Amino acid sequence: MQIRNSVVLITGASQGIGAACSRVFDERGARLSIVARDAQKLASVGGPNALRTAGDITRDEVRRNVVARTIERFGGIDILINNAGMGLYSAAWNAPMEDARTLFELNLFAPLALTQLVVAGMRERQRGAIVNISSIAGKMTLPWFTLYSVSKFALGSLTDGLRMELKPYGIHAMTVWPGYVKTDFQAHALGTRPPDAVRKGKRFAVTAGACAEAIARGLERDARNVVVPRIGWVLVALTRLLPALVESRLAAINQTRASA
Protein backbone atom coordinates (compact mmCIF):
# COMPACT_ATOMS: atom_id res chain seq x y z
CA MET A 1 0.00 0.00 0.00
CA GLN A 2 1.21 3.49 -0.75
CA ILE A 3 1.95 5.52 2.38
CA ARG A 4 2.53 8.94 0.81
CA ASN A 5 -0.58 11.12 1.15
CA SER A 6 -2.40 8.36 3.03
CA VAL A 7 -4.21 9.34 6.22
CA VAL A 8 -2.73 7.29 9.06
CA LEU A 9 -4.27 7.02 12.51
CA ILE A 10 -1.79 5.79 15.15
CA THR A 11 -2.72 4.90 18.73
CA GLY A 12 -0.29 4.98 21.64
CA ALA A 13 1.69 7.54 19.68
CA SER A 14 3.31 9.52 22.48
CA GLN A 15 6.29 7.19 22.98
CA GLY A 16 7.93 3.92 21.99
CA ILE A 17 6.85 2.21 18.78
CA GLY A 18 3.95 4.61 18.30
CA ALA A 19 6.16 7.71 18.41
CA ALA A 20 8.65 6.03 16.07
CA CYS A 21 5.85 5.16 13.64
CA SER A 22 4.72 8.78 13.73
CA ARG A 23 8.18 9.89 12.66
CA VAL A 24 8.68 7.21 10.00
CA PHE A 25 5.26 7.70 8.43
CA ASP A 26 5.62 11.48 8.52
CA GLU A 27 8.93 11.13 6.67
CA ARG A 28 7.15 9.02 4.05
CA GLY A 29 4.63 11.78 3.42
CA ALA A 30 1.64 10.44 5.33
CA ARG A 31 -1.00 12.70 6.86
CA LEU A 32 -1.03 11.83 10.54
CA SER A 33 -3.68 11.61 13.22
CA ILE A 34 -2.13 10.52 16.50
CA VAL A 35 -3.70 9.70 19.84
CA ALA A 36 -2.36 8.94 23.32
CA ARG A 37 -3.23 9.68 26.92
CA ASP A 38 -0.27 11.99 27.59
CA ALA A 39 -1.00 15.32 25.88
CA GLN A 40 2.38 16.80 26.82
CA LYS A 41 4.38 13.99 25.23
CA LEU A 42 2.04 13.88 22.24
CA ALA A 43 2.73 17.55 21.52
CA SER A 44 6.32 16.73 20.52
CA VAL A 45 5.42 13.88 18.15
CA GLY A 46 4.30 13.72 14.55
CA GLY A 47 5.45 16.87 12.81
CA PRO A 48 3.76 20.29 12.49
CA ASN A 49 0.73 19.12 10.49
CA ALA A 50 -0.27 16.15 12.64
CA LEU A 51 -3.69 16.07 14.24
CA ARG A 52 -3.29 15.28 17.93
CA THR A 53 -5.95 13.91 20.26
CA ALA A 54 -5.28 13.29 23.94
CA GLY A 55 -7.39 10.60 25.56
CA ASP A 56 -7.80 7.02 26.72
CA ILE A 57 -8.83 4.84 23.78
CA THR A 58 -10.41 2.25 26.07
CA ARG A 59 -13.24 4.80 26.38
CA ASP A 60 -15.83 4.72 23.60
CA GLU A 61 -16.27 8.48 23.49
CA VAL A 62 -12.51 8.97 22.97
CA ARG A 63 -12.43 6.45 20.11
CA ARG A 64 -15.39 8.06 18.40
CA ASN A 65 -13.93 11.53 18.89
CA VAL A 66 -10.53 10.73 17.39
CA VAL A 67 -12.11 9.02 14.37
CA ALA A 68 -14.57 11.89 13.83
CA ARG A 69 -11.84 14.54 14.16
CA THR A 70 -9.61 12.68 11.73
CA ILE A 71 -12.35 12.37 9.12
CA GLU A 72 -13.29 16.03 9.60
CA ARG A 73 -9.68 17.16 9.09
CA PHE A 74 -8.57 14.80 6.31
CA GLY A 75 -11.76 13.41 4.77
CA GLY A 76 -11.14 9.78 5.69
CA ILE A 77 -8.77 7.24 7.23
CA ASP A 78 -6.61 5.04 5.00
CA ILE A 79 -4.43 3.22 7.56
CA LEU A 80 -5.20 2.39 11.18
CA ILE A 81 -2.23 1.37 13.33
CA ASN A 82 -3.46 -0.18 16.58
CA ASN A 83 -0.26 0.21 18.57
CA ALA A 84 -1.41 1.10 22.11
CA GLY A 85 -1.00 -1.76 24.54
CA MET A 86 0.23 -2.82 27.96
CA GLY A 87 1.76 -5.80 29.72
CA LEU A 88 0.81 -7.78 32.81
CA TYR A 89 3.50 -9.60 34.77
CA SER A 90 1.27 -11.91 36.81
CA ALA A 91 0.53 -15.63 36.81
CA ALA A 92 -2.82 -16.30 35.16
CA TRP A 93 -3.99 -18.41 38.10
CA ASN A 94 -3.82 -15.53 40.57
CA ALA A 95 -3.85 -12.34 38.51
CA PRO A 96 -6.41 -9.78 39.73
CA MET A 97 -9.43 -9.94 37.44
CA GLU A 98 -9.53 -6.16 37.32
CA ASP A 99 -6.00 -6.15 35.86
CA ALA A 100 -6.94 -8.87 33.36
CA ARG A 101 -9.95 -6.88 32.16
CA THR A 102 -7.88 -3.69 31.91
CA LEU A 103 -5.31 -5.57 29.81
CA PHE A 104 -7.87 -6.96 27.38
CA GLU A 105 -9.73 -3.66 27.07
CA LEU A 106 -6.59 -2.00 25.74
CA ASN A 107 -4.87 -4.88 23.93
CA LEU A 108 -7.91 -6.40 22.19
CA PHE A 109 -11.23 -4.61 22.55
CA ALA A 110 -9.97 -1.10 21.77
CA PRO A 111 -8.33 -2.25 18.49
CA LEU A 112 -11.51 -4.12 17.57
CA ALA A 113 -13.72 -1.11 18.32
CA LEU A 114 -11.50 1.28 16.35
CA THR A 115 -11.43 -1.15 13.44
CA GLN A 116 -15.23 -1.23 13.39
CA LEU A 117 -15.32 2.58 13.37
CA VAL A 118 -12.93 3.02 10.42
CA VAL A 119 -13.89 0.11 8.16
CA ALA A 120 -17.11 1.70 6.84
CA GLY A 121 -15.19 4.54 5.20
CA MET A 122 -12.53 2.17 3.87
CA ARG A 123 -15.22 0.01 2.27
CA GLU A 124 -16.72 3.03 0.54
CA ARG A 125 -13.33 3.92 -0.95
CA GLN A 126 -12.41 0.26 -1.61
CA ARG A 127 -8.99 0.71 -0.02
CA GLY A 128 -7.37 0.73 3.37
CA ALA A 129 -5.21 -1.16 5.83
CA ILE A 130 -5.52 -2.28 9.45
CA VAL A 131 -2.21 -2.81 11.25
CA ASN A 132 -2.34 -4.54 14.63
CA ILE A 133 0.79 -4.52 16.78
CA SER A 134 0.92 -7.87 18.54
CA SER A 135 4.09 -9.38 20.07
CA ILE A 136 6.35 -12.39 19.72
CA ALA A 137 4.57 -13.36 22.96
CA GLY A 138 1.52 -13.86 20.76
CA LYS A 139 3.39 -16.57 18.86
CA MET A 140 4.80 -18.39 21.89
CA THR A 141 3.22 -18.24 25.35
CA LEU A 142 5.55 -16.75 27.96
CA PRO A 143 4.65 -18.06 31.45
CA TRP A 144 5.62 -14.85 33.24
CA PHE A 145 3.36 -13.07 30.79
CA THR A 146 0.54 -15.57 30.16
CA LEU A 147 -2.43 -13.22 29.98
CA TYR A 148 -0.47 -10.77 27.85
CA SER A 149 0.36 -13.65 25.50
CA VAL A 150 -3.33 -14.60 25.39
CA SER A 151 -4.33 -11.04 24.46
CA LYS A 152 -1.72 -10.90 21.71
CA PHE A 153 -2.63 -14.36 20.35
CA ALA A 154 -6.21 -13.09 20.16
CA LEU A 155 -5.15 -9.90 18.39
CA GLY A 156 -3.22 -11.91 15.81
CA SER A 157 -6.20 -14.19 15.22
CA LEU A 158 -8.46 -11.16 14.87
CA THR A 159 -6.13 -9.73 12.24
CA ASP A 160 -6.12 -12.99 10.25
CA GLY A 161 -9.91 -13.03 10.27
CA LEU A 162 -10.16 -9.37 9.26
CA ARG A 163 -7.80 -9.94 6.35
CA MET A 164 -10.09 -12.65 4.95
CA GLU A 165 -13.31 -10.77 5.74
CA LEU A 166 -12.18 -7.47 4.24
CA LYS A 167 -10.24 -8.66 1.19
CA PRO A 168 -13.27 -8.28 -1.13
CA TYR A 169 -13.39 -4.59 -0.22
CA GLY A 170 -9.75 -3.85 -1.00
CA ILE A 171 -8.79 -3.62 2.68
CA HIS A 172 -5.63 -5.32 3.91
CA ALA A 173 -4.85 -6.41 7.49
CA MET A 174 -1.32 -6.97 8.80
CA THR A 175 -0.02 -8.25 12.13
CA VAL A 176 3.28 -7.05 13.57
CA TRP A 177 5.09 -9.38 15.99
CA PRO A 178 7.88 -7.42 17.73
CA GLY A 179 10.40 -9.12 19.95
CA TYR A 180 12.26 -7.14 22.59
CA VAL A 181 12.10 -3.43 21.68
CA LYS A 182 13.97 -0.64 23.49
CA THR A 183 11.01 1.19 25.05
CA ASP A 184 9.62 1.88 28.54
CA PHE A 185 7.15 -0.98 28.12
CA GLN A 186 8.22 -2.81 31.30
CA ALA A 187 7.95 0.33 33.41
CA HIS A 188 4.29 0.77 32.45
CA ALA A 189 3.25 -2.89 32.76
CA LEU A 190 0.79 -4.09 35.38
CA GLY A 191 1.69 -6.74 37.96
CA THR A 192 5.10 -7.45 39.43
CA ARG A 193 8.25 -7.78 37.33
CA PRO A 194 9.70 -10.09 34.66
CA PRO A 195 12.37 -12.69 35.47
CA ASP A 196 15.93 -11.35 35.70
CA ALA A 197 16.93 -13.29 32.57
CA VAL A 198 14.25 -11.46 30.61
CA ARG A 199 15.24 -8.05 31.90
CA LYS A 200 18.88 -8.73 31.06
CA GLY A 201 17.82 -9.64 27.52
CA LYS A 202 17.08 -5.98 26.90
CA ARG A 203 20.61 -5.55 25.61
CA PHE A 204 19.58 -7.62 22.57
CA ALA A 205 16.57 -5.42 21.84
CA VAL A 206 15.92 -3.61 18.59
CA THR A 207 15.14 0.08 18.56
CA ALA A 208 11.62 1.43 18.21
CA GLY A 209 12.80 3.14 15.01
CA ALA A 210 13.88 -0.17 13.48
CA CYS A 211 10.51 -1.63 14.38
CA ALA A 212 8.67 1.31 12.80
CA GLU A 213 10.70 1.01 9.60
CA ALA A 214 9.80 -2.69 9.40
CA ILE A 215 6.12 -1.81 9.83
CA ALA A 216 6.26 0.76 7.02
CA ARG A 217 8.07 -1.63 4.68
CA GLY A 218 5.57 -4.35 5.50
CA LEU A 219 2.68 -2.10 4.56
CA GLU A 220 4.37 -1.05 1.33
CA ARG A 221 4.63 -4.68 0.21
CA ASP A 222 1.22 -5.75 1.62
CA ALA A 223 2.80 -8.24 4.03
CA ARG A 224 0.54 -10.46 6.09
CA ASN A 225 2.96 -10.68 9.03
CA VAL A 226 6.01 -8.71 10.12
CA VAL A 227 8.35 -10.24 12.71
CA VAL A 228 11.00 -7.87 14.00
CA PRO A 229 13.81 -8.65 14.46
CA ARG A 230 13.61 -11.43 11.90
CA ILE A 231 15.44 -13.84 14.20
CA GLY A 232 12.11 -14.06 15.99
CA TRP A 233 11.04 -16.52 13.29
CA VAL A 234 13.65 -18.92 14.71
CA LEU A 235 11.93 -18.83 18.11
CA VAL A 236 8.57 -19.39 16.47
CA ALA A 237 9.94 -22.37 14.52
CA LEU A 238 11.48 -23.89 17.65
CA THR A 239 8.17 -23.53 19.48
CA ARG A 240 6.40 -25.44 16.72
CA LEU A 241 9.08 -28.09 16.13
CA LEU A 242 10.23 -28.70 19.72
CA PRO A 243 7.34 -27.59 21.94
CA ALA A 244 8.25 -29.71 24.98
CA LEU A 245 11.84 -28.44 25.00
CA VAL A 246 10.78 -24.80 24.64
CA GLU A 247 8.13 -25.14 27.35
CA SER A 248 10.66 -26.70 29.71
CA ARG A 249 13.14 -23.88 29.14
CA LEU A 250 10.53 -21.15 29.59
CA ALA A 251 9.21 -22.80 32.73
CA ALA A 252 12.73 -22.86 34.17
CA ILE A 253 13.19 -19.15 33.43
CA ASN A 254 9.84 -18.41 35.07
CA GLN A 255 10.80 -20.46 38.13
CA THR A 256 13.68 -18.09 38.83
CA ARG A 257 11.15 -15.32 39.31
CA ALA A 258 8.81 -17.46 41.41
CA SER A 259 11.62 -18.40 43.78
CA ALA A 260 13.09 -14.88 44.02
Q: List, by residue number, the catalytic residues.
A: 14, 134, 148, 152
**Helix (H), strand (E), coil (C) string for the chain:** CCCCCCEEEEECCCCHHHHHHHHHHHHCCCEEEEEECCHHHHCCCCCCCCEEEECCCCCHHHHHHHHHHHHHHHCCCCEEEECCCCCEECCCCCCCHHHHHHHHHHHHHHHHHHHHHHHHHHHHHCCEEEEEECCHHHCCCCHHHHHHHHHHHHHHHHHHHHHHHHHHHCEEEEEEEECCEECCHHHHCEECCCCHHHHHHHHHCEEHHHHHHHHHHHHHCCCCEEEECCCHHHHHHHHHHCHHHHHHHHHHHHHHHHCC
Is residue 180 within 8 A of residue 199, CB to CB? The reply is no
260 CB-contact burial (10 Å; exposed 0-12 / middle 13-18 / buried 19+): exposed
Rounded to whole angstroms, the Cα distance separating 233 from 177 reads 10
Rounded to whole angstroms, the Cα distance separating 132 from 125 reads 21
